[in-house]
Amino acid sequence: MLKDLKRRSIVSFISISISIFLLIFAKQTIAQYFVGLTFAALSAIAAWEYAQFAKAKGGKPKSPALIVLSALVTISFFVSLQRSDLGWIPPTMFLLAILVLFALHFREKTGAIIDLAVSTFGLLYIALPLGMMLGIFYLPMKDDGRMWVAFLLAVTKVTDMGAYFGGSLWGRRKLAPHISPAKTIEGAVFGLICAISVSFLFYVLGENFFSLHFHLRPVEFICLGIVLGCVGQFGDLSESLLKRDANKKDSNILPGLGGVLDAVDSLLFNAPIIYFYLIVARAAAL
């Protein structure tokens, strides 16, 4: 456990350092493009990892096309927010991606249904949520999108760490033994408590230090903390389900990390929640 903890700590430090750099400079003109390309690269790598899951089950997805299309769908959110009249770009890019996937199967008589379903789900599961994270960065609103990304990352990752440590220290009853034997109910509860606590911390910071850039009402920090704490763990279990079905321990062999999918699995479920919440909240405020 100590060896695993050391690896996790090193990778977490590197990841946090990169995240802080992106959060600080995300609004700078040159840095914006770096942020967009970073998310596009994450989407491409995650799509490749997902394709390996499918291949392990006998699927034959068009991996190069899925990788490229995932990156394009993700970065389309960044492009759409450069001007107020470009909101049509993400749905159009997603539609074009589906058309391309269909066209690539026109010369095949068998396997198209399964492979198209696998590829389309990959776009929905990976590319769209990562694109929505880019959207959160740059949505035109009163609050600073960087603070909302920081909130999303902090609540989600602290939930993961809380569930890990809570399960290691007090875990007795298995949460989902067939797909993730190490996860426990006690760990999940402690992770949820951590999520609400971090959400409360952001509420306090918003009230006292960042009121011009970030603001949460009491009902918001409670509800978002609970929802993100629960849904994030659901996302973690969902990726474990895919790995278990593909008979893989990690989505990749990156030291101390596993893979990009392992790192973002919870965020893939939580990012759309914050994205749509901000769109609804912004529309209500207008």
pLDDT value, residue 14: 66
Question: Is the per-residue pLDDT at 147 higher than 70?
Answer: yes
248: nearest Cα among 62, 64, 66, 52: 52
The whole-chain average pLDDT of the chain stands at 87
Phi, psi for residue 85 in degrees, rounded to 5: -100, 15
What are the DSSP calls for 252-283, one per residue? S-BTTTB-HHHHHHHHHHHHHHHHHHHHHHHH
Question: Is the per-residue pLDDT at 254 higher than 80?
Answer: no
pLDDT tens-digit profile of 29-88? 788 888 899 999 999 999 999 999 999 988 888 899 999 999 999 999 999 988 888 889
Question: Is the per-residue pLDDT at 284 higher than 80?
Answer: no
pLDDT value, residue 93: 97
pLDDT value, residue 110: 78
pLDDT value, residue 253: 66
pTM metric for this prediction: 0.90
pLDDT value, residue 247: 87
The two most distant CA atoms of the chain are separated, in Å, by: 63
70: nearest Cα among 91, 101, 47: 47
138: nearest Cα among 57, 182, 79, 218: 79
CA angle 105, 110, 114 (to 5 degrees): 75
Reported confidence tier of residue 24, pLDDT bands at 50, 70, 90: confident
Q: Are 251 and 259 in contact (CB under 8 A)?
A: yes
Report, as an integer, the average pLDDT of 208-237. Answer: 90
Q: What are the residues whose beta carbons fall under 8 Å from the beta carbon of 124, sequence distance 6 or more? A: none
Q: Are 197 and 271 in contact (CB under 8 A)?
A: no
What are the DSSP calls for 247-259, one per residue? T-SSSS-BTTTB-
Alpha-carbon distance of 201 to 40, in angstroms, equals: 31
Report, as an integer, the average pLDDT of 184-200. Answer: 95
Helix, strand, coil shares of the chain as percentages rounded to 5? 75, 5, 20
Q: What are the residues whose beta carbons fall under 8 Å from the beta carbon of 13, sequence distance 6 or more? A: none
Question: Is the per-residue pLDDT at 7 higher than 80?
Answer: no
CA angle 164, 48, 139 (to 5 degrees): 75
pLDDT value, residue 162: 93
Q: Coil, strand, or helix at residue 92?
A: helix
Handedness of CA 95, 121, 234, 162 (dihedral sign): negative
pLDDT tens-digit profile of 80-139? 988 888 889 999 999 999 999 999 988 877 788 989 999 999 999 999 999 999 999 888
pLDDT value, residue 2: 47
Alpha-carbon distance of 67 to 40, in angstroms, equals: 10
Between residues 174 and 19, which one has the greater pLDDT? 174
Which residue type is seen at 58?
Answer: G
Question: Is the per-residue pLDDT at 256 higher than 70?
Answer: no
**Spacing of C-alpha 246 from chain mean position:** 21
